[in-house]
Structure 1
Amino acid sequence: MRNKVWLAIVLALRLKLLRLPGMERAFLRISADPLGGHRLLHSTDVELVRATVAEQFCDHDLIPGPAHDSFNACHNHAQGQSLSLNYIRYGCDVTINPGELTDFYLVQIPLSGGARVRNGRKTVEASQRVGTVLNPTRETQMIWYEGCEKLLLQIDATALHQTAERILGQSILHPIVFDPEVRLNAPRLQNWERKFRAAVAVADQNGAFGGRQHKHQALFEEELIAGFLMAQPSTIHHMMTQAQPHVSSPQINRARSYMLEHLADPITVAQIAAAAGCSIRSLQLSFQQSFGCTPIGFLQRQRLNHAHMLAQSVTRETLVSSIAYEAGFFHLGRFSIAYREAFGCSPRDTLLQKRFS
């Protein structure tokens, strides 16, 4: 149903654009400025622009470059329920220092020009095929170069976290951290970007967002958030992309819930079976049929997934033993071997790489 809704939107937009020259460019920018019907400001007053943008995002420094006489900012903003669609340009080089965003993620897709974006320890040179995502728990500094224009998707951090938990069917105890570099030529991100552009086009035609919330508004937003979680590398990407077999048995569901709630505890098959309300043999057969492994094999995989997320989330100074114990492993040697087999590197390697820091 969800895919059908999006397909209908995209097909409708394409049909309307078939008679226009340069269809692809028209689809990307239906009006002179995307979201032109949702104009928030258009001004050459630096302080007014800074204060107005800060009201929608967060407080920040805004420093025009040497060609400050050409500063001419535009911000279009269409508010949804858990996210907002935005178009911004500044007209000249600007330095933007927001620090930590705190309570939202910000996906930035350049339409023209480029920018240098640092989030945490990673710096990205953004272009029309390389976007960025700002993690709220990492400090950000940016330079938007003259001619830079971007579409921005602001996502409430709580909504994103809750969406991830619903998809995985388990609690996530640490903030999700994305790789700040969004490679828009990756197949999954190409598909997600099309949905994002379709949402902008619908908002441009007053079909959703802004003052007119569509009856499927929550569905549109969930698709955008879930799609980005599935497409963009993050500290939970290995869990999001792992095959999730359909499980209908209430007993299997109870067993899974019990294991996920007791990852750090030395639980036994008998305890899992008791929580599920079935015999050990019945539990073993059910897991073999549904997941192709034993209950303990399933438990080990979930513990490894949790350890991998921790290794990407905690500080570099954290001991491997602390990660192992928190994930329910009590033999460090066996933990390291299993971790390497699952992820192709040691826990220490993951800690030192810290790709998303």
Structure 2
Amino acid sequence: MTTQQASTRREPLRAWRQFHSRDIDEARSLVAQKFCDHRLEPAGQARGFGTRHNHVCGQHLSLNYLSYGSTVQIDPGELQDFYLVQVPVSGHAHVANGAETEESDCRVATVLNPTRATRMTWHADCRMLLMQIDRKALHEIAERAAGLTLAEAVIFNTAVPVSKGPLHRWARQFAACVHATDAQAGFGTWSRLQQSLIEEQLILGFLTNQQSNICHLLSPRTAAGSSHQIRRARDFIHTHAGDPVTVLEIAAAAGCSIRSLQTGFRRTFGLTPVAYLRDLRLDLAHYLLLSRPPETPVSSIAYDCGFSHLGRFSQLYRDRFGELPSTTCAARRKPEKPAGSPLARYSSSV
């Protein structure tokens, strides 16, 4: 067996080859059929250009392998309907999503948010595993995880550090899914229920571990083991977080006395109902400040989240998040870029 034959055999998702084309217009058109329309241009000479795209579809996400063979510039604008997690198997890429730009390699993957314009340069050595996630499905899982209605889209930090920590474990799960599929024991072979469970696990794992505008909303607020009354009270607070709500109304919704409500909340959450509601409103304000256009008045968001005194809101917000509301929309800290990758096993074979 030649080296080239061995390389082809070990190419991720090779059994689901969509096409292999040396024509840049054909490649752009065929890739667009699975993702979205985009501009694709060679950066300099197109010597070595040859697009390979492997694609296997699930219920709400798909697994993909994509390489171009030469340096290309890709401009899809806003993706609109899906998120795209891009994990380099080898090589590197320059990725801009909205105002964030990242240099991506086997240590740092990227995620493209559908509501932000994307511009990328994939270098000639770049080979990617891609997870395409349906935007609606991700949003529904995010709402269930947060226990809240989310009025704005989930927005992730662009950089996805996959070489250690929780995202390293998530990337290993992604890699295991690709390996299982390659072995005819993954996508395309699972039952509908098993496929649904695996996809939800992958999406929820990414939501839980990747920095975003909702990660602070995913902290435990469950009332597991508590009485039905406390769970009803919690659900009432979450439903009416932005409304004027009194302790009496919460107790009435729960079907218990105010004293029982206070005691149950302290035992379950370590907070009074009023403190729980206050923290939830602050978390919602943080989410909206990260999500809405930067020119949105802070006062508008404060009022939407149930705060009527702006000075008090600013002080409570700073106590909880360590900064004033007006500074929250500033550029977020970039994740560190450590070494190593759970997908490095592919780098020598594709």
Normalised to the residue count of structure 1, the TM-score between the two structures is: 0.88
Q: Which residue of 2 aligns with 1:170?
A: 148
Q: Is the 8 A contact 1:85 1:151 kept in 2?
A: yes
Post-superposition CA distance 1:59-81 (Å, at most 9, x none) = 00111222313101100001000
1: CA distance between counterparts of 2:54 and 2:73? Answer: 20
Give the C-alpha shift of residue 32 in structure 1: 1.9
Partner of 1:216, secondary structure, is: helix
Q: Is the 8 A contact 2:55 2:64 kept in 1?
A: yes
Q: Which residue of 2 aligns with 1:104?
A: 82
Most deviating of 180-189 and 99-108:
180-189
Most deviating of 114-123 and 164-173:
164-173
Tell me which of 44, 47, 60 is aligned to 2:38.
60
Aligned pairs for 1:214-293 within 5 A: 215-242=193-220, 244=222, 246-293=224-271
Q: Which residue of 2 aligns with 1:142?
A: 120
2: CA distance between counterparts of 1:326 and 1:30? Answer: 56
Aligned pairs for 1:158-197 within 5 A: 158-197=136-175
Partner of 1:235, secondary structure, is: coil
Aligned pairs for 1:18-57 within 5 A: 31-57=9-35
Q: Which residue of 2 aligns with 1:336?
A: 314
2: CA distance between counterparts of 1:163 and 1:230? Answer: 11
Q: Is the 8 A contact 2:85 2:132 kept in 1?
A: yes
Q: Is the 8 A contact 1:117 1:142 kept in 2?
A: yes
Q: What amino acid maps onto 2:163 in structure 1?
A: N
2: CA distance between counterparts of 1:33 and 1:65? Answer: 25
Say if 1:272 and 1:241 are closer, same or farther in 2 by CA, change over 3 A: closer
Partner of 1:351, secondary structure, is: coil
Q: Which residue of 2 aligns with 1:120?
A: 98
2: CA distance between counterparts of 1:212 and 1:37? Answer: 16
Say if 1:314 and 1:190 are closer, same or farther in 2 by CA, change over 3 A: same
2: CA distance between counterparts of 1:177 and 1:276? Answer: 34
2: CA distance between counterparts of 1:52 and 1:355? Answer: 37
Post-superposition CA distance 1:242-297 (Å, at most 9, x none) = 56452542222221121112122111000011111111111111111100010011
2: CA distance between counterparts of 1:100 and 1:212? Answer: 32
Q: Which runs of 5+ in 2 are unaligned?
A: 1-6, 335-350
Q: Which residue of 1 aligns with 2:3?
A: none
1: CA distance between counterparts of 2:164 and 2:151? Answer: 29
Q: Is the 8 A contact 1:179 1:355 kept in 2?
A: no
Q: Is the 8 A contact 2:178 2:186 kept in 1?
A: no
Partner of 2:224, secondary structure, is: coil
In the alignment, is residue 155 of structure 1 matched against residue 133 of structure 2? Answer: yes
Q: Is the 8 A contact 2:8 2:14 kept in 1?
A: no
Post-superposition CA distance 1:131-164 (Å, at most 9, x none) = 1000000000010001100100000001101111
Q: What amino acid maps onto 2:254 in structure 1?
A: A
Q: Is the 8 A contact 1:316 1:351 kept in 2?
A: yes
Q: Is the 8 A contact 1:38 1:210 kept in 2?
A: no
Q: Is the 8 A contact 1:206 1:212 kept in 2?
A: no
Structure with the greater relative contact order (CA < 8 A, sep ≥ 6): 1 or 2?
Answer: 2
Tell me which of 301, 325, 334 is aligned to 2:279.
301
Give the C-alpha shift of residue 241 in structure 1: 3.6
In the alignment, is residue 132 of structure 1 matched against residue 110 of structure 2? Answer: yes
Tell me which of 298, 322, 328 is aligned to 1:320.
298
Post-superposition CA distance 1:175-212 (Å, at most 9, x none) = 00000111113401011001000110111112122476
Q: Is the 8 A contact 2:42 2:72 kept in 1?
A: yes
1: CA distance between counterparts of 2:247 and 2:225? Answer: 19
Runs of 4+ in 1 over 4 A off after TM superposition: 211-215, 242-245
Q: What amino acid maps onto 2:302 in structure 1?
A: A
Q: Which runs of 5+ in 1 are unaligned?
A: 1-28
Partner of 1:70, secondary structure, is: coil
1: CA distance between counterparts of 2:26 and 2:124? Answer: 20
Post-superposition CA distance 1:196-236 (Å, at most 9, x none) = 00110111112122476565111110110000001100000
1: CA distance between counterparts of 2:283 and 2:83? Answer: 23
